């Protein structure tokens, strides 16, 4: 799940996302993911392959070390790997239920409704002190 467009290949990642206002970065990330997903018809297939293909799995894991953690550092936080992993698991959980088996309740949610639900959670994972 490279948050810049696809699972394989490069891209700008999260480096170009606006970090202001800082209290909105969670919402910005969720909206960014949903926008990319809507443009990338291959995402569902790549998500399934990522569970078994080591190269795709490594690319997915790079989201933690190459995108989320550096972005959180730009926010002035030093996140743990666990915090970044929680961000990715939240977004992938939504993606799994919305785009793979297409759960009706997940499919019924509009983009801004998802942003409203998940944005504060992602925000807390990236900026809250470790419990």
Which tens digit of pLDDT belongs to each residue from 39-64? 766 666 766 776 678 887 787 777 66
User: Global pTM?
Assistant: 0.74
Which tens digit of pLDDT belongs to each residue from 63-110? 667 777 777 777 767 666 788 788 888 988 888 888 878 899 999 999
Q: Residue 64 has what pLDDT?
A: 65
The answer to whether 43 touches 37, Cβ cutoff 8 Å, is: yes
């Amino acid at each position: 799940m490279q948050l810049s467009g696809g699972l394989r290949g490069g891209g700008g990642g999260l480096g170009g996302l606006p970090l202001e206002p800082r209290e909105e970065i969670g919402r910005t990330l969720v909206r960014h993911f949903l926008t990319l997903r809507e443009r990338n018809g291959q995402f569902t297939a790549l998500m399934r392959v990522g569970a078994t293909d080591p190269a795709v799995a490594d690319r997915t894991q790079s989201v933690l070390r190459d995108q989320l953690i550096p972005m959180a550092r730009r926010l002035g936080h030093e996140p743990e790997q666990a915090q970044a992993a929680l961000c990715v698991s939240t977004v992938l959980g939504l993606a799994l239920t919305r785009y793979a088996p297409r759960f009706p309740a997940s499919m019924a949610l509009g983009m801004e409704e998802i942003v409203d639900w998940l944005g504060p959670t992602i925000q807390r994972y990236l900026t809250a002190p470790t419990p």
